[in-house]
Structure 1
Amino acid sequence: MDYSRYLLESLSHSTPVHVLAFGKPSDLPPDAPRLSWTLIDHDEPSRLASVLSHLPNVAYRHKSSAYLQAAITASREVDAIFVDFIGLFGLVAPLREALGENGPLIIPVNHNFEHDVRRQMVLAERSLGMRAALTYDTWKAGNLERAANRIADGLVANTDADARAFARVTAKPSVTISPAYNGPRLAARVIDAQTPRRICVLGNHEAHHKRMVLDQTLTALAAHGIERTCDVDVVGAGDNSEFQARFPGFNFYGYVDDIEAYLQTVRFGLIPDEIGGGFKVRALTHVFQRLPMLAVRHAVQGMGLTANVHYAEAENLDEMSTAIPELLNDFARLNRLQNAAYDHCDDIYDWENRGRSLDLFVRTLLADRA
């Protein structure tokens, strides 16, 4: 995950960091001056077998006694242990038991308020069998999420909204560390009639909830015949075969080598996520490549952007589809939106600041313990 990698790199500028991750020795990244790695080989079990476990699917697939033992060994001489993402939250309780209350700080890094995200998935799922499985998995994920953050010494949230959600289930201290941006920035751009009549849906759609979002989006756009008024491109990693068969009027490009050049041929991008919380990292790509955004309500919450100032907002996917034809030709508004978003974000999405904030949070927790 880019968020995890860049956060670790940023933190290592303030303090030494050792990373324990799944992978084969051949995958080992080069050590940086204060960033070192240990990789643990792991074969994921069957996803179906997770039904019999008390752990949600993603945590069951990452359960490993070898990883736990390596984590215990590596943690005996550190000040703090960051347990990154709910897939590893099953480690929190056994780490606390092994290392004791006076051992290193244990700090979960939450990428979402998972229970709420999964409830959205349940409500959107059309298959009764899948809905039952997701309901059970949501219950397990909520239990694990609450337990891990209550056992911990403090927690990291992805957005202020998530931090407030966690405050309802635990009184443990929290810090909000949103993603930042270290990609290329486009100094200036003008969208006009020479820009192709093209919009795009950017981002990978490999995870189940992201495929649900894409399915809902394409269904809504097709119902309004948007593919007949402009080119609609789906760009990003994921198996497109099912969608290509069902939505032949849309363009599916998969991974694009030169994404910066491609985005300059697009009038605006859609952020259609009615499912999924957290921070939309791809929205920063839109901002810094000066691609205006049309987003459904709450899809870019946590970024500090103002609706209809920094991006165009629609209440839902139906309203988004209705808004597209007019926005396509409103060049003054498109340029106003992309300039306002860039100016707003220009100085506040620096990865270096994220590492310093996380280091300060750890030092504060250590001082409070002392």
Structure 2
Amino acid sequence: MTPSILWLARTLPLPLNAGDRIYSAHLAGAVARQGSRVVFLGLANPDDPSGSLDELERRVQWKLVPGAPNPKLLGLASRLPMVGARFCTRSYRDAITRELREADYDAVVLDQYGMSWAIRHVRNIARRPPILIHVSHDFETRVTDQIARNFAGDPVRRFLLRQNARKTAVAETDLASASRLLVTLTDEDRASFAAINPSLGHVVLPPGHAGRRAPPRAIDTTVPRRAIIVGSFSWIAKQINLERLLSAADGIFPQASIELHVVGMVPEPLLSRLRQRFPWVAFKGYVDDLGEELRNARLALVPEEIGGGFKLKILDYIFARVPVAAVASALGGIPARLKDQFLIEDDVAKLLRTVADTIDDVGCLNRMQTGAFDIADGLFDWDLNGQRLLDGLTQALRERSRKGISNALTGLTEPAPSI
């Protein structure tokens, strides 16, 4: 019998314009396509209410938790990290209670570290204890510590970031200790959780690719001498990485007459500040035709020195047939033979100088983009990920059953206690 799964995430995974939402939506959908009953709970996205359930897998039961997240100020007094304190709402707790009282689930997924608060709630409510699965998009203990150490702004905010990093470490320790199965995107993140709980079952699932695959293209001198970076820059780590990139590029790209397009939402007041500092950069915001932007670039940049995990946009670049230039620290989960098709340097400044040296070598650029596409094609499969997750869950259920039988038999053979 295929397991039934209650999937708990901060929000429903809409809109599909950020890596974590894309991953959650497609992994849950892939599990449902394998025949499992999947009920997915989440609030509406408070930062971007766009997107439609019609974009998501119909075999998943998507259930919107009513209400808004808690105010951000509430997180200051909470033992939870900021994201956990925001989404641990009374309405969400009530929704979990209703689901667990109405049905028995074989497993409960805790999607992202911000759901650590649900551990105790699930344990207290469930009539039959489910297997807890933690889906980790990154090892956030490391990432939040990097953010706190690299933030150079307001001292009060820096203090709060340090506090949040400590709370995040506690949350991930709780998740690693309580869960029976861990899902990570990279083996590096798996190893970090194993250091907390060596007995934690695991499955490493790099993302699949469900987007468009561009037809063959040839980069020639008619393609603008342009680099591109695509993303959603609402998260502070991405903002730090973006500003570092632009600061480094400011001394290299204008002198080499290389254009740079930043595609995706950059929030205010950061956007105005960056436009004033770097008037030569084209901030495109949301674009209706991302494919057109990618076709008119010679290289795509992956400059993230802060924040680990698998960068889903790398797959978008590869399957759009755009050569990739990346810092080594941003390539977690990428197979070595695929990395061989990239420009890679240890830091952003070196990477940008290599880009400037390579951007006119169209022969090299075409070998990079065709080689990467050919290697990646067939490697990143969502349905295979869904089956592998179910295989890991089935094994965890069997192990629990064997332990239960063993404990029962031990109890039968033990002498009766004296009275």
TM-score band (shorter)? Answer: over 0.9
Counterpart-to-counterpart distance in 2, 1:252 and 1:26 = 21
Check whether the contact 1:227–1:250 (CA below 8 A) recurs between aligned residues: no
Check whether the contact 1:181–1:284 (CA below 8 A) recurs between aligned residues: yes
Distance 1:228-1:48 versus aligned 2 partners, 3 A rule? farther
Check whether the contact 2:341–2:369 (CA below 8 A) recurs between aligned residues: yes
Counterpart-to-counterpart distance in 2, 1:220 and 1:173 = 42
Give structure 2 stretches of 5+ with no counterpart.
Answer: 1-20, 402-419
* Match in the other structure for 1:219: 247
1:2 paired with 2:22, answer: yes
Counterpart-to-counterpart distance in 2, 1:356 and 1:110 = 18
Q: Write the letter of the residue equivalent to 1:10.
A: A
Distance 1:178-1:227 versus aligned 2 partners, 3 A rule? farther
1:178 paired with 2:206, answer: yes
- Alignment match of 1:114 (pick from 136, 140, 153): 140
Spell out, residue by residue over 1:255-287, the C-alpha distance to the aligned partner (whole angstroms, 9 max, x if none): 111111221110001100001111101000000
Check whether the contact 1:270–1:294 (CA below 8 A) recurs between aligned residues: yes
User: Greater CA deviation, 209-218 or 126-135?
Assistant: 126-135
Q: Write the letter of the residue equivalent to 1:3.
A: Y
* Match in the other structure for 1:77: 104
SS in 1 for 2:321: coil
Distance 1:145-1:33 versus aligned 2 partners, 3 A rule? same
Counterpart-to-counterpart distance in 2, 1:49 and 1:142 = 19
- Alignment match of 2:77 (pick from 52, 60, 79): 52
Check whether the contact 2:338–2:372 (CA below 8 A) recurs between aligned residues: no
Q: Write the letter of the residue equivalent to 2:87.
A: H
Alignment of 1:14-33 (within 5 A): 14=34, 15-23=36-44, 29=53
Counterpart-to-counterpart distance in 2, 1:123 and 1:329 = 37
Distance 1:227-1:16 versus aligned 2 partners, 3 A rule? farther
* Match in the other structure for 1:260: 291
Counterpart-to-counterpart distance in 1, 2:87 and 2:73 = 14
Distance 1:19-1:307 versus aligned 2 partners, 3 A rule? closer
Check whether the contact 1:159–1:176 (CA below 8 A) recurs between aligned residues: yes
Distance 1:27-1:287 versus aligned 2 partners, 3 A rule? closer
* Match in the other structure for 2:312: 281
1:156 paired with 2:193, answer: no
Counterpart-to-counterpart distance in 2, 1:26 and 1:241 = 24
TM-score, normalised by the number of residues in structure 2: 0.84
Check whether the contact 2:74–2:86 (CA below 8 A) recurs between aligned residues: no
Alignment of 1:1-370 (within 5 A): 1-14=21-34, 15-23=36-44, 29=53, 34-75=59-100, 76-99=103-126, 103-127=129-153, 128-170=155-197, 171-226=199-254, 229-239=257-267, 240-306=271-337, 309-370=340-401
RMSD: 2.1
Larger radius of gyration: 2
Distance 1:331-1:300 versus aligned 2 partners, 3 A rule? same
Counterpart-to-counterpart distance in 2, 1:327 and 1:210 = 26
SS in 1 for 2:221: coil
Check whether the contact 1:118–1:138 (CA below 8 A) recurs between aligned residues: yes
Counterpart-to-counterpart distance in 2, 1:32 and 1:219 = 41
Check whether the contact 2:338–2:375 (CA below 8 A) recurs between aligned residues: no
Aligned length: 369
Counterpart-to-counterpart distance in 1, 2:129 and 2:37 = 18
Distance 1:10-1:266 versus aligned 2 partners, 3 A rule? same
Q: Write the letter of the residue equivalent to 1:23.
A: A
Counterpart-to-counterpart distance in 2, 1:225 and 1:23 = 40
Check whether the contact 2:237–2:306 (CA below 8 A) recurs between aligned residues: yes
Check whether the contact 2:253–2:259 (CA below 8 A) recurs between aligned residues: no
Check whether the contact 1:93–1:151 (CA below 8 A) recurs between aligned residues: no
Q: Write the letter of the residue equivalent to 1:69.
A: D
Report percent identity of matched pairs: 28
Q: Write the letter of the residue equivalent to 1:65.
A: R
Q: Write the letter of the residue equivalent to 1:13.
A: R
Distance 1:314-1:27 versus aligned 2 partners, 3 A rule? closer
